[in-house]
Every structure is written in structure tokens, then in C-alpha cells.
Amino acid sequence: MADRGYDSYKLIDYIYENGGEPIIPSKKGAKFERHCDWWQYKERHLVEKFFLKLKAFRRIATRYDKLACTYLGFLCIASILIWIK
């Protein structure tokens, strides 16, 4: 799932080559309109809202933790705190 800005032939071909089905609507004014499941496309809003909630944690947004394992650990803690709310 991606926004219209990611509509490029290279990306679409890559998705098809790896056995996926793109859920990216065609750009306005495109020669060929691609089928898009609009209900599923709107689900990306939930993912974007979750990332915005994660960015509210300053430690995640500014990447204080230099090691990947500690960053992932705090990411899990922040996700749990969001889920509990």
C-alpha cells in the first residue's frame, strides 16, 4: 500500500515480480487506470496514524539509541504503551 506519489513503472514491476499485487492508485491523468481496492487502500491511514503516535516519543523520532537492538527494544515498549492507552 502506498500513496499515488509512489506510482512508477519500476516499483509496480518490482511488486509484480515478487508475487505481490500493488494497491497504489494510478496518478490522475494516467493513460491506463490500474484497478485499486479502495477499501484496502484506505487502511493505510491506520498505519500512518500509528507512525505518528510513535513519533510522539522523542527518543524514537530523534534516534537516541545507536544500537539496533536497543532501538528495537524501545520501539516495542512504545508500541505497548500506545496499545495500552
Q: Enumerate the domain spans of the chain.
A: 4-42, 51-84
How many secondary structure helices (H) and strands (E) does the chain include? 5, 0
pLDDT tens for each residue of 36-68: 777 877 787 888 888 889 988 888 888 888 888
| pTM tops 0.85 | no
First-to-last alpha carbon distance for the chain, in angstroms, is 27
Angle (CA) 1-48-84 rounded to 5° is 125
pLDDT, position 76: 93
* C-alpha cell, 49: 496514524
